[in-house]
């Protein structure tokens, strides 16, 4: 078995919590959404996805046109 330490260089680096001021390190490219110390959100909440409405119900087909001579 191979036990390797997490790669500290793969993340975005060191950041600081805006509320408690503690240093937060990212490891292995994992970006935290909440501070592990004070639980405040670190990033703004993502916007709701733009979901299109339901398509209109198609109407009944019309009567065929009379062929012209």
More confident residue, 66 or 26: 66
21-59 confidence digits (pLDDT tens): 888 887 777 778 888 889 888 776 566 677 778 888 888
Is the Cα torsion angle 11, 12, 18, 23 positive or negative in sign?
positive
- For 39, the domain range is 7-43
Is the Cα torsion angle 3, 36, 29, 50 positive or negative in sign?
positive
* Number of other residues whose CB lies within 10 A of the CB of residue 35: 19
User: Is 58 inside a domain boundary?
Assistant: no
pLDDT the model gives residue 48: 67
User: Is 2 inside a domain boundary?
Assistant: no
Average pLDDT estimate for 9-27? 74
Tally of structural domains, the chain? 1
C-alpha to C-alpha distance for 30 and 11, rounded to whole angstroms: 7
């Amino acid at each position: 078995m191979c036990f390797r330490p997490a790669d500290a260089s793969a993340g975005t680096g060191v950041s600081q919590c805006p509320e408690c001021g503690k240093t937060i390190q990212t490891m292995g490219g994992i970006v935290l959404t909440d501070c592990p110390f004070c639980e405040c959100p670190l990033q703004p909440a993502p916007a709701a996805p733009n979901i299109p409405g339901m398509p209109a119900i198609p109407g009944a087909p019309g009567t065929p046109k009379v062929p012209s001579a």
